[in-house]
Amino acid sequence: MSANDTFVKTVWMIMDELQNAGQMENALQLILERLCGEFNCAEASIWLKHEADQKCYMIASKGNEDNTGISIGFNLGLIGKVSMSGETEYVKDCKNDNRIDQKNAHLYGDNCLAIPLKTPYGVMGCALLINRDTVFTDEEVKSLENAFAVIALDLEDKGFSFDVNTGRKPLVSLKGVIKEFMSGEELNRILKGIDLDVYEGELLVVLGESGCGKSTMLNIIGGMDKATQGQLIVEGKDFSDPSEAELTDYRRDYIGFIFQSYNLMPNLTALENIEFIAEISKHPMSSKEALEMVGLADRADRYPSALSGGQQQRVCIARAIVKDPKIILADEPTAALDFTTGQGVLKVIEKVVKEKKTTVIMVTHNVEIAKMADRVIKLKNGLISSIRTNFHPLRAEDLNW
């Protein structure tokens, strides 16, 4: 097969994976597996630059062990060099080549091709292809450079990145948060040391499998539950060991909650459901205004039973925003709704973030919804397994599931 055929085939495969995999991580993993097969390499990995840390982080790997998440300084060896220069490097004997930092030699195997991830905007990082049984030809290298440029463009477009520290002050921080529950005789550690900063005015989406502790984390942030260990810090104030009274004030003054189930008072109208919360709030907005904001001004006098699911959920959003809280916590707010209705609810949440600069933390199972977030965190095995910043969040109206 000519190098040109190889290139076409490789790019075709990459485009296919990028389009069809539900998540970028999975797509990259599959691409690396297939590239290793195609080019007879033992291992491969993809590294992204994180300017703030001056490090490259491994975001995908194919090989004996999953090392994703490890990082290496820009100044240390080949990964940093290629990620900075944008020039491919091919090392045929890693043990005897001073481009390889020997302390990290295990990352490179015996021979290694390091290809930059280049976009028109700059170099995002690099890919390594490790331990090939034959030497790469110049044509193969050129093909792979182009193939990884395709991947880089898609990464840029879909916004895979790290938690970019912009120097903003966090509004809410969790530090080393551990949560344990008794289950029968057994003590279960659900959250195993969560460190998280949430910034003012951002929409943060939390993903993770059922039972991984998303709601538990949200409840701790919302002062509905206390951490077994660790700190909750809000605007610099430590709420780690609050009294009941402090917790009640905190919930009242800072937090608006939106749940999957609507929990509206059945014997109060839409407007009354909102007024009832406004009355116990420190600095409420007008209840009518809140109802207007969610597009239900004309349904003010309806009882919940005479509203659709989506309308009831919008009343819940109005109820959450009427307090003018700093933080809105939304736990699967669209899970019970069909696509169009769910999207309507997301549009309202988007509007609240944009117009009122409210910080929203939203839990969902739906990876499509994560595309509208400023940042997306994933919980896995009681820890945050990834944090990513969307360079170009989608608008709620452009989501589709």
> Smaller CB distance to ligand ATP: residue 356 or 365?
365
Contact flag: residue 184 with ligand ATP (CB under 6 A): no
Assess 91 for contact with ligand ATP (CB under 6 A): no
Binds 213: which of ligand ATP, Mg ion, none (CB < 5-8 Å by kind): ligand ATP
Rounded distance, CA 391 to CA 166, Å? 13
Among ligand ATP, Mg ion, none, partner that 161 touches (CB below 5 to 8 angstroms by kind): none
Q: How many helices (H) and strands (E) does the chain have?
A: 11, 16
Question: Minimum distance from CB of 331 to Mg ion (Å)?
Answer: 6
Using CB under 6 A as the binding rule, whether residue 181 contacts ligand ATP is answered as: yes
Q: Which of 210, 243, 340, 400 binds ligand ATP (CB under 6 A)?
A: 210
Q: How far is the CB of 330 from ligand ATP (least distance, A)?
A: 12
- In the block, tokens 């530090």 appear at 175
Which token pair is 209? Answer: 């499998």
Cβ contact 256:329 at 8 Å: yes
CB-facing half-sphere around the CA of 31: CA atoms within 13 A: 33
Q: What is the DSSP code (8-state) at residue 230?
A: E
Write out the residues near Mg ion by the rule CB under 5 A: 215
**Which of 77, 116, 125, 213 touches ligand ATP (CB under 6 A)?**
213
Question: Given the complex with ligand ATP, which of 97 and 195 has the nearer CB atom?
Answer: 195
Judged by CB under 6 A, the stretch of 9-17, 51-59, 111-119, 212-220 that binds ligand ATP is: 212-220
Residue 18 or 329: the one with the smaller Cβ distance to ligand ATP is 329
Report the amino acid identity of residue 180: E
CB 312 to Mg ion: min, Å: 19
374 within 8 A of 206, measured Cβ to Cβ: no
Given candidates 60, 126, 151, 212, which one binds ligand ATP under the rule CB under 6 A? 212
- State the minimum distance, in angstroms, from the CB of residue 218 to ligand ATP: 8
Residues 190 to 209: which contact ligand ATP by CB under 6 A? 190, 208
Q: How many residues does the chain have?
A: 401
- Residue by residue, DSSP assigns 156-217 as HHHT-------SPPEEEEEEEEEEEEEETTEEEEEEEEEEEEEETT-EEEEEE-TTSSHHHH
The reply on whether position 334 binds ligand ATP by CB under 6 A is no
Shortest distance in whole angstroms from residue 9 CB to ligand ATP: 40
185 touching ligand ATP, by CB under 6 A: no
Q: How far is the CB of 174 from Mg ion (least distance, A)?
A: 17
In whole angstroms, give the CA distance from residue 318 to residue 351.
12
Residue 342 in the binding site for ligand ATP (CB under 6 A): no
Residues 6+ apart with CB under 8 A from 344: 310, 314
Identity (one letter) of the amino acid at 53?
Answer: D
Nearer to ligand ATP, 19 or 210 (CB): 210
Q: Identify what 18 binds: Mg ion, ligand ATP, none; CB under 5 to 8 Å per kind.
A: none
Check if the beta carbon of residue 93 is closer than 8 Å to that of residue 74: no
Q: Which residue has the tokens 């976009």?
A: 119
Residue placing its CB nearer to ligand ATP in the complex, 208 or 310: 208
Query: How many alpha carbons lie under 13 Å from residue 90 in its C-beta half-sphere?
Result: 12
**Burial class of 138 by CB neighbour count within 10 A (0 to 12, 13 to 18, 19+):** exposed
Determine which residue in the list 184, 211, 236, 266 makes contact with ligand ATP, applying CB under 6 A: 211
Where do contacts with ligand ATP occur on this chain (CB under 6 A)? 181, 183, 190, 208, 210-216
